[in-house]
Amino acid sequence: METAEAEAMSEQAASLELHGVSRRFGGLQALSDVSFSVQEGEIFGLIGPNGAGKTTLFNLLSGVTPPTSGMIRWRGKRCHGLSPDALNRLGIARTFQNLRLFGELTVLENVLVALHHQAGAQLEPQALALLEELDLAHLADRRADELAYGNRRRLEIARALATKPTLLLLDEPAAGMNPSEKDQLCDLLAEMRQRHQLTLIVIEHHVPLLMQLCHRMAVLDFGRLIALGSPEQIRTNPRVIEAYLGGAR
């Protein structure tokens, strides 16, 4: 992401705010006192080793599980502890690391399911437009479980977009993709952000993709926030190099 754009983004008001967010599962402290904010329209990356708490944080943001303590606000409204449906009505949608498509339905039908709440609307043209945007329109009549893995990832994104989110949480969208598909995905996410006026938070193990895509990034390690800043600041942070990047720097 261009430096000038990242600097301009940092001056905007925060849309998503996390204050002292923690989550405990029995004796396991999955997240501990995590605080950061995300600006309107920002592409924000979330990285860290396996087990660092990234998906747990997404589960809190999307209503899968509530925080043990702390506060989460979206556009000034408290949103922690709300159900996924209630959060979706506030404009928050997500994809999952483990795909949750309806395999026996067609590609088109998967998107139509996500559009069901728009009573009286012309749903099929909307669904086809989203499939066109994700380069899936030619597969509209194929069963979802017949798709190549990269296309299943794209279908999951199309289905999330069908709910018309303003905040989209993407959990490892590039998983299983080859280098060419990852480059295409990076371009696609940047275009989606502009076209749909989205704020994006992206978990991804492919760090070069996030370095190219994001305005800012946060790094978790053992449930704690250890770094927050621009991609270049993250790339050169000694704590991040020690905990995660290592030789990938």
Please write the tens of the pLDDT for every residue from 20-73. Answer: 999 999 999 999 999 999 999 999 999 999 899 999 999 999 999 999 999 999
Amino acid symbol at 95: T
- Over residues 123-179, the pLDDT tens digits come to 999 999 999 999 999 999 999 999 998 899 999 999 999 999 999 999 999 988 889
- Over residues 74-94, the pLDDT tens digits come to 999 999 989 999 999 999 999
pLDDT for res 9 = 53
pLDDT for res 222 = 93
Q: Which domains does the chain have, with CATH numbers?
A: 3-91+165-248 (3.40.50.300), 99-163 (no CATH)
Residue 81: how many other CB atoms lie within 10 Å:
14
Check: CB of residue 143 under 8 Å from CB of residue 102: no
Average per-residue pLDDT in the chain?
90
pLDDT for res 1 = 57
pLDDT over 70, % of the chain: 91
pLDDT for res 99 = 82
Using pLDDT thresholds of 50, 70 and 90, give the confidence band for residue 3: low
Assess whether pLDDT exceeds 70 at residue 120. no
Assess whether pLDDT exceeds 50 at residue 247. no
- Over residues 98-108, the pLDDT tens digits come to 788 999 999 99
Full-model pTM: 0.89
pLDDT for res 238 = 92
pLDDT for res 249 = 40
What number is the average pLDDT over the span 178-205?
94
pLDDT for res 237 = 93
